[in-house]
Structure 1
Amino acid sequence: MQNAINNLLQGIDTVIIRVSSFTVSKEWYMEKLGFSVLFEDANMQLAVLDTQSGVSLTIWGTQQAIVVNKDTASYPIFKTPDAAALRQELVNRGVKADEIIEDAYTKYFMFYDPDGNVLEACQVHD
């Protein structure tokens, strides 16, 4: 039974982030993070964004209030070779970013989109 599901699940295709303004968020993710649009459906208020990895990010507009609890939210973690340089670049671009946390294995920080959705960048120590 386990092999049947392993053959059918082939990894993560995309991560969905709900946003209050499709247009504002699409521009933010393109301008601030440098993502490009792979697919867009303005009627559905969604865009699939290229993250330069095997997993895309889909922003999807909603009329519901976006309520984010940083302590319980699910969020994507982006790889980076240099957490400090990335954090500084994001701050220079006007992105709200927390301070860097470092442990024996990683250096990481959280940052936020216009709706306060949690995003994280992580550098794994060699």
Structure 2
Amino acid sequence: MAGYLNQIRFHDIAVANLEYSLAWYHSFLGFEVRSKNDQIGVLSLGRGPDLILTAPDFRSSMGKLSMDERAVPIIGFETHQIDEFYRFLRSKGVPVTPLRDEYIGRYFGFIDPDGNMYSVLKGN
């Protein structure tokens, strides 16, 4: 198989209170808040993957592919070949969400054989 993925880009964690959690990760763990809105906050240590904190209401707007009808991507991968990788996964029968364009870039989710959801991003 061709190497579609470049690196792990982020880890996604659902939180109950986004503002509180952003402050906690900054104050206690030293993360810098790179960006935020009402739905997500992107945190960085300067090296390695970002940590994305996701508000509960944002989860309901994401693709619904997991077994219990909740989309919960846990790791986000980066690619420069998003269309090719999307077509490849679909051709192999892998469950995928629709491709979406957002302010962070173009992305989609997919489910592995154990029901884990991942995201794939081609950033802007």
Does the alignment reach a TM-score above 0.5?
no
Q: Which has the larger radius of gyration?
A: 1
TM-score normalised by L of structure 1: 0.43
Higher relative contact order (CA 8 A, sep 6+): 2
TM-score normalised by L of structure 2: 0.44
